[in-house]
Amino acid sequence: MAQKKWSDLTSGQQRAILVAGCVQLSLAATAWADLARRPASEIVGSKGKWAAIIAINFVGPLAYFARGRRVVATEASAA
């Protein structure tokens, strides 16, 4: 299969790639920011492991948000 050049793609295909890239970068940046701010006691596993996993396309950040964070009961939510 021959590789397509950016200029060979339709404007719709180019737009879809740009949107997907922006979503991926936003997910990863948000996950890394959350990981950096969250204490290690609120992370399932090591922070280093999750930092590497977050780099894996869409799957990494979604896995971090679904499985990497511990739910911590706060005083306000307990009342």
pLDDT band at 77 (very low <50, low <70, confident <90, very high): low
pLDDT (mean) for 4-11: 94
Cα 63–Cα 66–Cα 71 angle in degrees, nearest 5 = 140
The average confidence (pLDDT) of the chain is 92
Tell me if the pTM is above 0.75: yes
State residue 74's pLDDT score.
73
* Interacting residues of 43 by C-beta distance below 8 A, sequence separation 6+: 35, 50, 68, 69, 70
State residue 5's pLDDT score.
94
d(Cα 65, Cα 35) in Å, to the nearest integer?
A: 10
* Interacting residues of 56 by C-beta distance below 8 A, sequence separation 6+: 63
Q: Residue 17 above 70 pLDDT?
A: yes
Q: Residue 79 above 60 pLDDT?
A: no
